Structure 1
Amino acid sequence: MFAFLGLLVPLVALGACAPLQGISNRTKLLLVSFDGFRWNYDQDVDTPNLDAMARDGVKARYMTPPFTTQTSPCHFTLLTGKYIENHGVIHNMWFNASTGQKLPYYNTQRVSAWWDNGSLPIWITAQRQGLKTASLFFPGGNATYQGERVNVNKVEKLFHKYDNETEWRQNIDTVMKWFTEDGLDFVALYFGEPDSTGHKYGPESQKRKDMVSQVDRTVGYLRQRIKENMNSTLNLIITSDHGMEQVIKEDEIFLRTVKNFSFSDIKFELVDYGPLGLLEPKPGKLEQVYEALRQAHPKLHVYKKEDFPKRFHYANNTRVSPLVLYGDSGYVIHGRIKVQINKGEHGFDNEDINMKTIFRAVGPAFRRGLEVEPFESVNVYALLCELLEITPEPNDGSLEATQHMLVKNAGTRTISPLATWKLTWLLGFAAFLRFLTGIPCHVLL
């Protein structure tokens, strides 16, 4: 009896000195994107670390990105939970159709007006609700939104080499420091591979397979660093923006050779950057240009903006030009001259299987060994907000698409009715012991 009381007294005293309420157990969150990681890249390469992550957590069969399947638009969908026509980042490049000015991907990252269209990325939403956030190379992380920036930001330099494995590990170490020493709650970390290698050598190349092995080693290093520091407090999501397709070099699409079509009838064009084309004909030339192009090539699809397929959730935005073009899988569009020399490309129909990408998740909030059916990346944002315990902005996704991945009451330790009854009894017993002994709580503890 006395032995029992000896075990019981510290426990009940602890309960007697603490309020009866749910105990906050907010976890931290790391979102990692490996650009251009096609959904099946782990099927022709040995990936022990990604496989282990799937066993320890959740793996989606694949994830469907939005159209157009480009880097900046797809990443901003992850950050906002909106389709591209609703968040307005419609291309990797900033452009001004009135002046003809265009900026490449790297420079576009610094044009806040391109990103700040009224849609708040999760960084800003989380900060407004009391959390601290960071971006390391993540698309959109170098812009200002309604006058606010992400708390901590690291930006790559011009002509940055994205394949440096040593730097990858250094960046992971930086992120872990942000979490453990600087008290950050959410970090978005970006790697520019295997996208760059897939573009240069093609998705079926040995170079791409070697790069996937490098990605897998990096996942192993990341998970080891998490285990060393914050295994029970950090949720990890690894995903990507889009897949990759082999470019077809036969019977290519050349706009300059199309009968009855002339660039002299075009006020502004954005072509030569993959399978997507945006054209603004000169006043009075819309029908002429449309008729010239609509049957120009069997693999080329040409639409007036208002007729563009609704399933793409793309064209209903003021930035989209009056004519929208895209090529079938593998077919890129060449404009005035051939500048597209990549062996691999993306930007194709998001229903094409090779545009699908990956989703992996592991951590205290996620179930173990669960493989889920495919879902759209527009739903990831709601999941991020749930994990961070913040109220999301209006968005096009739904938590219903991902909530089955989570353990019950993820992120909060709750007290069941039975536990409440037991704790109530213990509190009463503790009060009785204090009445008998007169020993204060701090002594019992």
Structure 2
Amino acid sequence: MENHGVIHNMWFNTSTGVKLPYYTTQGIDSWWDNGSLPIWITAQRQGLKTGSIHFPGTKAKYQGEEVNMKLVEPPLFNYSNETLWRQNIDTAMEWFTVNNLDFITLYFGEPDSTGHKYGPESTQRRTMVSQVDRTIGYLRQRIRESGLESNLNLIITSDHGMETVIKSDEIHLRNVENFTFSDIQFELLDYGPNGLLVPKEGKLEHVYSVLKNAHPKLHVYKKEEFPKRFHYANHPRITPLLMYSDPGYVIHGRYKVQFNNGEHGFDNEVTNMKTIFRAVGPAFKQGLVVEPFESVNVYALLCELLGVEPEPHDGSLETTRPMLRSSAPLLAATKLPVMLGIALILRCWGGAY
């Protein structure tokens, strides 16, 4: 995040105080176009044809370029519509077979939404996981019916886990002794376990000192002291003070406006924050179970599958190379791959396989 600059679901400007939600920022190129290129653009520049369905960043242009074919989720989108899920899968198959695309990213926002609303251990989320499972079955079926099974690689992964929100002993910054929001120029709070603060001139040390030990489950840092392992602080969009909470604890600001029963964004070393990785296709070994690995390594794998030269990145192909049948470069004529990002699918199981 400290390299690509997408550090929050909220678009913000610390000088003007403007905050815009994800849906609004889909068309704001400046938020997405930070010098880092999505794999769609890299692949297109090297002669491939790409598509994206509802994947974050799909609508934006990067250095004036956009993905060849796309579907952008509309405002107030219903993530749980199983009929639409299948329609999007059918669209992806058509793009491969009729439009001869080489790479498609396909995103579903469930069971993330259900996990937020009802909690990861709820009956509602278990029901939604069953719906996701049916959808993966439908995807595999449509790949076979479209005659793509022998030359298409499918990757199923996601971006984070989910933790049950703890409703007792909550973190409320407004109740902290000697802390006042009149000392704050800008804040980004109430969105889970993270907080970004810009104290007014001359107030940084005071705000830091009163918040540092305000709650046993709250961790407050000056930007330059934030733990390096998060790879989060070294970017100009990160504010002078930042904080995170222990698993299950949400940071509340001026008022309590966050009532989710499930949340993510906690320490990525926590088991319930782990995601999944499944892959099937001609490039992959069958029945192989691998050790957990960081998701940042998926990009290099995709570039290898596509036969394209990657942009500068933080991952390593050596982490995922043992999954592949051969270490030799793959034929460019092979259709590679569909990447299916289903937020939160079975993520409470943890690990990467």
TM-score by length of 1: 0.73
Name the SS for the 1:118 alignment partner.
Answer: coil
Letter in 2 for 1:195: D
* CA offsets 1:220-277 (integer angstroms, 9 cap, x no match): 0000111122111110000001000000000000000000100000000000000100
* CA offsets 1:165-210 (integer angstroms, 9 cap, x no match): 1111000000000000001110000001000000000000011111
Structure possessing the higher relative contact order (Cα contacts under 8 Å, 6 or more residues apart): 1
| 1:113 and 2:25 matched | no
| 1:156 and 2:69 matched | no
Q: Which residue of 2 aligns with 1:123?
A: 40
CA distance in 2, matches of 1:112, 1:376: 28
Equivalent residues of 1:92, 1:108 under 8 A apart: no
| 1:172 and 2:89 matched | yes
| 1:411 and 2:330 matched | yes
Q: Which residue of 1 aligns with 2:274?
A: 356
CA distance in 2, matches of 1:117, 1:334: 30
Q: 1:213 aligns with which of 111, 130, 135?
A: 130
CA distance in 2, matches of 1:280, 1:143: 28
Equivalent residues of 1:365, 1:410 under 8 A apart: no
Q: Which residue of 2 aligns with 1:222?
A: 139
Structure with higher Rg: it is 1
Percent of paired sites with the same residue: 73
- Correspondence 1:169-208 to 2 at 5 A: 169-208=86-125
- Correspondence 1:30-109 to 2 at 5 A: 84-109=1-26
- Correspondence 1:274-313 to 2 at 5 A: 274-313=192-231
Q: Which residue of 2 aligns with 1:260?
A: 178
Equivalent residues of 1:124, 1:148 under 8 A apart: yes
Letter in 1 for 2:31: W
Name the SS for the 1:171 alignment partner.
Answer: helix
CA distance in 2, matches of 1:378, 1:109: 22
- For structure 2, the residue ranges without an aligned partner over 5 or more in a row are 333-353
CA distance in 1, matches of 2:300, 2:55: 19
* CA offsets 1:397-433 (integer angstroms, 9 cap, x no match): 00000000000136249xxxxxxxxxxxxxxxxxxxx
Q: Which residue of 1 aligns with 2:313?
A: 395
Equivalent residues of 1:236, 1:363 under 8 A apart: yes
CA distance in 2, matches of 1:238, 1:190: 10
Letter in 2 for 1:402: T
- The number of aligned residues is 330
Letter in 2 for 1:153: K
Q: Which residue of 2 aligns with 1:137?
A: 54
Letter in 2 for 1:133: T
The 4+ residue runs of structure 1 with deviation greater than 4 A are: none
CA distance in 2, matches of 1:192, 1:378: 20
CA distance in 1, matches of 2:63, 2:71: 20
Q: 2:256 aligns with which of 338, 346, 359?
A: 338
* Structure with greater helix percent: 1
